[in-house]
A and B are shown apart, each in its own frame.
Chain A
Amino acid sequence: MLDLLRIEYKKLTPYPTFWIIFGLFFLFTPFVFYGAGQIKFDAFPIDFATIYNFPNVWNIITYIASWFNLLIGMLLVIIVCNEFSFKTFRQQVINGHSKADFIISKILLIISFSLLSTLYLFFIGAFFGYISGSEASILTNTKYLLIYFIQSLGYMSVALILAIIIRSSAMSIILFVCSIFVESIIRLFVPEVLASYFPMKIISNLTPFPSPGGVQVSSINAVITDSISLNISIIVAIVYIILFWGFSYIILTKKDIN
């Protein structure tokens, strides 16, 4: 399986878009996080600089990074759609890969991207935490990193299935970016009990909006939606991720490779 991942990185490391998008992620996340801590409202008696402290840092940095997750999702759409538009997926099947190899290699890529971005957040969070002189333990609330990792898997799994169904970069990116908004419109017409379980709602709610100023970070077991606890959201998100991977494989095997 690691051979499949090695081949994926052989394709990606010379690809400029890969470096540009990860570069934007690596640049913007700490930049926006730093900027958030510099906000000052005279009328608002909260010291935003406390967001750099442990354990606040984990909730806030993962929340900020969750928006840039969409960037990495877009990168995945481009990577998968390229395989169809360059017809390299077909060539690799002709050369001896199976359709399952294709899906497994993309899932491994998703996992590696998620790991990479989560590790990066860990280092950035730790850096800000230490330079802010915070005395709390670095490990407190690091569960947010695990939740961010699952969220990242979730977004990229949505990107994967969209790219496999649509096979066109432009259309898939538009649909991927709009999926949150499209889903919120659909949810208006669905009973609330069901609406809370829609995939993008579940995935986006994994990294909860921080409490004002990040000073009082919501508890890890806090209720984050109207009716679903974080733990339930994590389980449902994992189920969605597995379903997206499974459906991606089924769609790929049923369709001819043109």
Chain B
Amino acid sequence: MEEILNINSISKRYGKVKALNNVSLQINRGEIYGILGPNGSGKTTTLGVILGVLNADSGSYCWNGKTPSKNDRKNIGSLLETPNFYPYLTARQNLSIACEVKEVVQSEVDRVLNVVDLINRADSKFKTFSLGMKQRLAIASALLGNPETLVLDEPTNGLDPQGIAEIRTIILDLAKNGKTIIMASHILDEVEKTCTHVAVLKLGNLLTYGPIQSVLNNQEQVLVVSENLDLLKLTLAQIDGVSNIKQIKDKVSLILAKGKDISYLNSALFDKGIAVSEIGVQDSDLEANFLELIK
């Protein structure tokens, strides 16, 4: 796999707050890499550093194996936090300026406005746009020059469900065309539906990273029903490889360690004198796994 971005032990402080703590990450060509974490976990700071707007206190990063330069950024389409344009200029004028900065032909303006379905509002001033239109214009700007890599920070932030679906469709279409997409989000559902890989940050620390299924779905949640739920919970707590025991209505949910399966659990409970009326694997609960990770 061809490495697009290599982040090597980056740390960044804001006064006493450690925003990033020795974060290292490798992203390969064609991956849709979600950077996931709660608010304040360091997602935007990570993207700010790799896009050259924040100075890291230590560590380094390189794009395509080379020391970062402004020319790298010209070949990366980026949206960092909010859409940033001149409010008194039209969509077309704003994109025209972005074309000049990126050294991209002006004909790109109409192409990207078509992609995000804003061509009819090309000559409207940015300040008259709704939040969803502003976000789409920011994505249009990121698409100028048809870059191979896109860096998107909370691309569906503040959008209504229809807007979210539209942006998600655009991202998935781009991914189908082989683009490498690095996307920060605190919305698990968004990352789950869009990304192939994920890195999870919490308080500036990189907790885990890798293919999304192995990171967020590596433990099976099991549901057990028995006559005496309190006794069931007490007994489960004594069984090796069982964790995260919770009562959900009339069932008890638990996480089984790798290598343990339902038959193991069933016989362990039987040996301890518990008769179960129902036992089964719950469909993957990414949210539970994510919350478990960042706990």
Interface residues of A (CB under 8 A from B): 3, 6-7, 10-11, 14-16, 82, 86-88, 90-98, 101, 254, 256-257
Contact = CB atoms under 8 A, between A and B. Distances in A.
B53 A96 contact: no
Contacts of B33: none
Given A93-B52, A257-B54, A88 B86 contact: yes
Contacts of B88: 14-16
Nearest to B78: A94
Contacts of A254: 55
Contacts of B120: none
The 8 closest A-B pairs by CB, nearest first: A96-B74, A87-B84, A91-B84, A257-B53, A95-B101, A96-B73, A94-B78, A98-B70
Contacts of B98: 91, 95
A98 B74 CA distance: 11
A7 B73 contact: no
B71 A86 contact: no
B53 A93 contact: yes
B93 A14 contact: yes
Interface residues of B, number: 28
Nearest to A255: B55
Contacts of B55: 254, 256
A90 B84 contact: yes
Contacts of A88: 84-86
B103 interface: yes
Interface string B221-235: 000000000000000
A45 B48 CA distance: 69
A88 B88 CA distance: 12
Nearest to A82: B86
Contacts of B84: 86-88, 90-91
A15 B90 CA distance: 11
A84 B98 CA distance: 16
Contacts, number: 72
A19 to B, nearest CB: 12
Contacts of B103: 96
Given A87-B82, A87-B84, A11 B73 contact: no
Nearest to A16: B88
Contact of A96 (B48, B82, B97, B101): B101
A95 B54 contact: no
B96 interface: yes
Nearest to B101: A95
B283 interface: no
B74 A11 contact: no
A86 B93 contact: no
Contacts of B74: 95-96
A14 B89 contact: yes
B102 interface: yes
Contacts of B182: none
Given A15-B88, A87-B84, A96-B102, 4 more contacts: A86-B85, A92-B101, A93-B53, A101-B70
13 contacts: A7-B100, A10-B97, A90-B53, A90-B80, A91-B80, A91-B84, A91-B98, A95-B102, A96-B102, A256-B48, A256-B54, A256-B55, A257-B54
Contacts of B52: 93-94
A97 B97 CA distance: 12
B215 interface: no
B87 interface: yes
Nearest to A98: B70
Most buried by A among B48, B101, B141: B101
A3 B88 CA distance: 22
B51 interface: yes
Contacts of A98: 70
Nearest to A92: B101
B101 A10 contact: no
Contacts of B102: 95-96
Given A93-B52, A256-B53, A10 B85 contact: no
Contacts of B93: 10, 14
A209 B52 CA distance: 48
A86 B94 CA distance: 12
A28 to B, nearest CB: 24
